[in-house]
Amino acid sequence: MKYSVVVHKDVGSDYGVTVPDLPGCFSAGQSFEEALESVKEAIVCHLEGLLMDKVPFPERATMVSHQANRDYRGGTWAFVDVDVSSLSC
């Protein structure tokens, strides 16, 4: 399952990653690549929590629609492909 993510980097900080389709889901990494890898685990954990709480997964929006959100201005956009086959759906 592919999710759009936005990566921010401030001077003197790690790379921070936000998943707009999953409010409250974020991660970080020392490099851009590490940040993208770590957010995959954060997404799986977030989805597992939703399943445990019997909350349906939120609908995913297009990256373009997220880019219009001022909260994500200045970030670098990417897609991450998350293997959700291990989740008990």
Distance CA 29, CA 13 (A): 9
**How much is the pTM?**
0.90
Which residue, 2, 24, 6, is CA-closest to 15? 6
What is the chain's pLDDT, residue by residue, as a tens digit (89 residues)?
Answer: 999 999 999 888 999 999 999 999 999 999 999 999 999 999 999 999 999 999 999 999 999 999 999 999 999 999 999 988 888 65
At residue 34, the pLDDT reads: 97
pLDDT at 84: 85
| 26-29 β-sheet, strand order | 26-29, 15-18, 2-9, 76-81
